Amino acid sequence: MAGAFRGRNQLLGSHGKVWWNKKLIAEINKFELKASAEREDVNIGMDIDSKLTAIKCEGSLEFKKIFSRYKKEIVQAWKSGEDIRFDLFVKVDDPDAVGKQEESWSIGNVWFNEFPIAMFESKQPMNEEWSFGCTFSDIEPISEIKD
C-alpha cells in the first residue's frame, strides 16, 4: 500500500546528535527547540482574526553530566557583562528512517538563559538541563525526511 509505514520507521531520539560550535556533544540526553508566534488581534467585521507580529524561539539541552563544558566560558563572559553567543547544529539520523534519510537544523545566535552552576543528588546519575533562546531568522533547515 502506497504511503504505508511500519513502526520501525518512527524516529528514535537515541539517534539524535548536537554539535556546539562545531564540536559534537556526545553526552546529550535530550534536545528541544520550539518557536512561538506572538500575535495581535485584528477585527474584521464581527470576526477577530490575528496578525503575526514576532516569533520567539526557546529551547533546552539536557546533558549526561560527564564534562563541565562551556560553563567557565559563559560565567567569565557574564561577569564581564558580555552576552556570549553560540551556534548549534542538530541532527536525527535513524537508520530505520524512511529512505535512510536524516533531519537536521542549523541554529545560530544561541544565548543561554539558565544553566546549573553546581548540583548533585546522592546515588543518582547526574544530568543537567540548560535553557536557551535564539533568533528565529538564524534557524535554517539543512535536511528533512521526505516520503
Spatial CA neighbour of 110 closest among 80, 81, 90 = 90
For 25-35, how does the pLDDT look when each residue is reduced to its tens digit (9 = 90+)? 888 899 999 99
Spatial CA neighbour of 56 closest among 128, 133, 2 = 133
Distance (Å, whole) CA 56 – CA 23: 26
Report yes or no on 10 lying in a domain.
Answer: no
Report yes or no on 135 lying in a domain.
Answer: yes
Q: How many domains does the chain have?
A: 1
Report yes or no on 120 lying in a domain.
Answer: yes
Report yes or no on 1 lying in a domain.
Answer: no
CATH code, domain with 45? 2.30.110
Cell of 56: 520567539
For 62-109, how does the pLDDT look when each residue is reduced to its tens digit (9 = 90+)? 989 888 878 899 999 999 999 999 999 999 887 777 766 788 999 999
Report yes or no on 85 lying in a domain.
Answer: yes
Give me the pLDDT at residue 1, please. 45
DSSP state string for 90-134: EEE--TTSGGG--EEEEEEEEEEEE--SS---TTS--EEEEEEEE
Q: What is the pTM of this model?
A: 0.85
- Domain residues for the domain of 37 are 15-143
